[in-house]
Structure 1
Amino acid sequence: MVTVRPEDYGAAPGKDATDAFRKLFADVDKRLVRDAGGGVPVATTDILLAGVYTVSGSIMRPVAGRAQGLTVRGIGKRASEIVMTGPEPLLVNKDRWMGVRWYDVSFRSTNPKASYLYSSSTGACQDWGWTNCEWRGTWQRGIGLDGPQASNTNSEMFWTNCHVNGAYADAFLRIGMTPSRPQQDQFLNYWFTGCKIEYDHGDFVRADKGGFISVESGSFVIKGRRPDGGTSRFFHFPTAGHHDSVQHLNVRAVRFELRHATSKVIESRWAGQTVFDGCSDTALGFQPHSPSLVAHEYTNPGVVTYRNCDLVGKHAYHHTAANPRQRVVYEACTRRNNRTRAAFLTLDGPHAPKAPPVVHVNDADGIR
């Protein structure tokens, strides 16, 4: 295995390193070898980032054919950092790379039109992972997943002990960027473990297509407000009509902070399964905006379950269509502000009178 560095291709302190990175990735492409057990070529180089690099354009650009097994390593967050000053995506992956790993690297944007990764797939572009990585600065979006045909994937992506900082006009992770195109719900399996999600504004995850999403532990904070006064959400699922196997969200042992009335934990039109287990969003429950804050909002939900959660503000359920499979259950939960059913729940819409009742089990506030 050969280790290559941007410095090997002309990167130098104080100098724009765009061309050096492009030469580096072109050299990585030349060193691919055939996978003995399959037909997709495998990378034979590691990339080492041992400094701060400023770039003004995309450093990973479209290349024909598929490849796998690329690894990029840094020496630590902010000690190894790529700073994007231009409006393009830092990385462009068009049905090319899978099995990609990033370790101990920071990414920062000084251009509000930039994005970190644009990934368009018709079958490749899967199995990417980030460990001990960080995003900060001002972005249009972090990662945008897309696809021009009905067979795209962009699936199996994970983030472990990562830090999402900065600000996002759209979202940090946008799943299904162009839903007007024919696209299957094959965007699935996204895993966040032990992450610090503490950013200024925008959506953390917006899924217009697909999305079997699992979140395990972490600190989630929306620190500021959108410049246009709009809503920032951790989880935003704005479209209905997905397959049951993809519209799942499982969140466990996460502490949320909603510092402003324009923030939400979730706004969802999914009719699948949503579970919050052992979570709390009551840290700012003492603030004046908290009692009237609609922190969790659903339209025509499927099965929604809260277990052992401490909850702030109100929860809203809008019933604009009938859904016989709807079930909403709160088990062993507490509330910071509104401790009666009438104060805590908003149930409205033309189908609300016939909707199954919201069930409370072993409720710590005595709601039945």
Structure 2
Amino acid sequence: MQRSSRGTHSSVLARRTLFRGSVAAGLGGLAASAFMQSDQVEPGGRTEETSSVAPNLREAAYAGPSYLLNVRDYGAAGDGVTDDSSAFAQVVAAAYAARTTMPLSLDRDQVGSINIIVPPGNYLVKSPTALISSTMSSKVQGVTFTGYGNSISNIIFQPATAGVMAQNDFWLKVNFQYLGFYAATAGCTFLLSSTTHSAQRYMFQNCYFQGFKYALDLQGTDNNSEFFFENCHAQCIEADGAFFHVGATNTSDQFLNYWFYGCTHWLSSAPFIDVAQGGHFHIFGLDVSAWAHDLTSPQFLFNLRGSNHASGVCSFQAEGVRVEGQNSNAGLLYSEWNYGSVSFTNADFSSQAPYYTYNNLISISYLNSAGPSYTFSNCVLAGGVLVAFAINDYEFQHEILFDSCTWLQKPSPSDVVLYNTSQAGGNIRQLPPVEFRRCRGTVNTNAIDAGGAAVWDARIGYNGDLIQTLTYREVSIRDPYGVPAGSSTVCIILPVGALITSIETMSPAGAVTSTAVGWEWIIATTESTPTTVGSVAVPGPANAGWRVETTLATPFLCDTKLRATLKITATNVDQNNGAALLLIKGFW
């Protein structure tokens, strides 16, 4: 189809505007800026005093009409009723035909020169691959699809059966911006990128995706790399799909480097990322609202699958993820990766915690590998951490670290960590360690309550790996006035598996006026028949000060929850002493 006369009219206006810009340039930077903004030219040739068009559109308008192709000039109606498939196919073909060769052989691939404009409207597309087709015959670098804003310029995909809106093998450096994409047929994919060595440097800015099974499904043997998402929004992704998907077949560990900035994933039970290969993922700000509401089995927001990946491809970084998990089966991370690095910073899973009791929020599978280094920092989390391991995992050094995290719903780190030993071949003693550093809980926080206060600094499974560095720990026991006194009883919860080696107390001279002799503290378990762990006593008058340590002849193993829950009782302590310390020492 020939371009309409609007294209010619636009040419005149574009040249006129270019002339104005040249005149304005002589007025100085500030005057030129004000002059050019006062009379904008839209792609269709109209002028208006002020424009809400994206800044890059305004810049493109001054570049000349040969760089702008308006989909309406190719017959698109944008009325939500007329099938605009042919118009999009033609405008993309025209963009492909306009490819050029870089001068001086600066690039071996041909380069594009077109910005495809999608004016406001609802464009119905019924033909699969109308947006980008895989029938191109040679590589082209560069094409841009620009709308006037998601929910303003909308493309509605309604094939007769499940299909793919765009399927690429030859385009590189493709940009989508200010557009809304909607699937009106179940099972559809927005972009199936099946490539042997193309599909590189894709950028999605201010785009909206609704109703697809997959927003992106990557396939092929190489590349599919350097994808960038900024202020993109997904809604109602089908539960058996994912926003970003890489399957186990016809895929490659060469798919790498994906960035997400300020995105959302709403009203869905589908993962945001589900990949069976490696890939470097970087997420900075992601809001996940009304997620997992219709799950009947566990599902995770991020799935890192596969346990045999190439070197240099397994890296996942997420910062500022907020999740409204509306189902007890909602989870944050599932990982099978065999090495690499996985980190979460400032993740918040607390929004729906008052209404749903979560199962396993994190599931990590080693299966005879060291696995990635897992780090969770400054996060608010709920639910459990399930760690699966195999019979020979004791040969590796594992690392799962929770640093400065707050845990909801679980009373202690021992309650957080669960081990799946189904593939351990009976080797249930070699547990991969999980470390909690400077963490805290919201359950069992008061040592003078009957339930006790949990000690959260711990390394669960500390005796699992054959070689690892252990931490010798000391926990201070106090009531609101100092070390327990009078009839005061304090209760603490150590991690199951803690090994107590000694009990120590100390006080400076003159801290109390009491001259009583025989101050003593007794530590016992909370079993039905309590076991006395040990005691420590002050040998002289209390006002003289002291430092006394009782080293247990046999270290005490807190091998059950009741043996790890300890009561500390004061005997003959007749005065509060806020300057004294009472310490339980050991390894945990």
TM bracket (short chain): over 0.9
Question: Is residue 172 of structure 1 aligned with residue 243 of structure 2?
Answer: yes
1:24 aligns with: 91
| Counterparts in 2 of 1:226 and 1:241: CA distance versus 1, 3 Å | farther
Write the letter of the residue equivalent to 1:74.
Answer: G
Measure how far apart 1:278 and its partner are. 1.5
CA distance in 2, matches of 1:309, 1:206: 22
CA distance in 2, matches of 1:305, 1:159: 24
Quick one: which of 74, 78, 85 aligns to 1:9?
74
Contact 1:202/1:231, CA 8 A, preserved across alignment: no
Write the letter of the residue equivalent to 2:419.
Answer: L
Rg (Cα) greater in structure: 2
2:471 aligns with: none
Contact 2:166/2:190, CA 8 A, preserved across alignment: yes
Write the letter of the residue equivalent to 2:409.
Answer: N
| Counterparts in 2 of 1:66 and 1:222: CA distance versus 1, 3 Å | farther
SS class of match (1:354): coil
Contact 1:326/1:355, CA 8 A, preserved across alignment: no
**Per-residue deviation, residues 158-206 of structure 1 (Å, max 9, x unmatched):** 111111112223211112x3x344x541011111111112131222111
Contact 1:211/1:248, CA 8 A, preserved across alignment: yes
Give the gaps of 5 or more residues in structure 2.
1-65, 442-454, 459-588
2:199 aligns with: 125
CA distance in 2, matches of 1:325, 1:187: 28
**Identical-residue share of aligned pairs (%):** 22
Contact 2:242/2:272, CA 8 A, preserved across alignment: yes
Matches of residues 48-127 of structure 1 in structure 2 within 5 Å? 48-50=117-119, 51-57=121-127, 58-59=129-130, 60-62=132-134, 63-86=136-159, 87-94=162-169, 96-127=170-201
Write the letter of the residue equivalent to 2:245.
Answer: R
- Per the normalisation by structure 2, the TM-score is 0.59
Write the letter of the residue equivalent to 1:233.
Answer: F
SS class of match (2:288): strand
Measure how far apart 1:302 and its partner are. 2.7
| Counterparts in 2 of 1:76 and 1:358: CA distance versus 1, 3 Å | same
Write the letter of the residue equivalent to 2:415.
Answer: A
1:35 aligns with: 102
SS class of match (1:242): coil
CA distance in 2, matches of 1:171, 1:230: 16
CA distance in 2, matches of 1:172, 1:334: 29
Measure how far apart 1:352 and its partner are. 5.3
Question: Is residue 294 of structure 1 aligned with residue 360 of structure 2?
Answer: yes
Contact 1:319/1:352, CA 8 A, preserved across alignment: no
1:360 aligns with: 436
**Per-residue deviation, residues 124-165 of structure 1 (Å, max 9, x unmatched):** 11110101111012x232111001x4xx11010011111111
| Counterparts in 2 of 1:53 and 1:237: CA distance versus 1, 3 Å | same
Question: Is residue 201 of structure 1 aligned with residue 256 of structure 2?
Answer: no
CA distance in 2, matches of 1:358, 1:132: 39
CA distance in 1, matches of 2:102, 2:87: 28
Write the letter of the residue equivalent to 2:405.
Answer: C
Quick one: which of 166, 185, 205 aligns to 2:253?
185
2:57 aligns with: none
| Counterparts in 2 of 1:7 and 1:231: CA distance versus 1, 3 Å | farther
CA distance in 2, matches of 1:171, 1:111: 16
2:341 aligns with: 273
CA distance in 2, matches of 1:186, 1:226: 34
Contact 1:68/1:98, CA 8 A, preserved across alignment: yes
**Per-residue deviation, residues 294-331 of structure 1 (Å, max 9, x unmatched):** 11111114311111111111111111251613101111
CA distance in 1, matches of 2:299, 2:208: 20
Measure how far apart 1:99 and its partner are. 0.7
Question: Is residue 245 of structure 1 aligned with residue 312 of structure 2?
Answer: yes
CA distance in 2, matches of 1:68, 1:55: 25
| Counterparts in 2 of 1:222 and 1:303: CA distance versus 1, 3 Å | farther
Contact 2:145/2:177, CA 8 A, preserved across alignment: yes
Contact 1:333/1:364, CA 8 A, preserved across alignment: yes
1:254 aligns with: 321
Contact 1:203/1:232, CA 8 A, preserved across alignment: yes
Question: Is residue 305 of structure 1 aligned with residue 375 of structure 2?
Answer: yes
Write the letter of the residue equivalent to 2:374.
Answer: V
1:346 aligns with: 418
Q: Of Structure 1 and Structure 2, which has the larger fraction of its residues in helix?
A: 2
Question: Is residue 328 of structure 1 aligned with residue 403 of structure 2?
Answer: no
Contact 2:292/2:325, CA 8 A, preserved across alignment: no
Give the gaps of 5 or more residues in structure 1.
none
Write the letter of the residue equivalent to 2:166.
Answer: L
CA distance in 2, matches of 1:324, 1:302: 11
Larger relative contact order, structure 1 or 2 (CA cutoff 8 Å, min sep 6) = 1
SS class of match (1:26): helix
CA distance in 1, matches of 2:293, 2:349: 18
Q: How many residues align?
A: 357
| Counterparts in 2 of 1:184 and 1:352: CA distance versus 1, 3 Å | farther
**Per-residue deviation, residues 52-78 of structure 1 (Å, max 9, x unmatched):** 100011211111110111111110111
SS class of match (1:25): helix
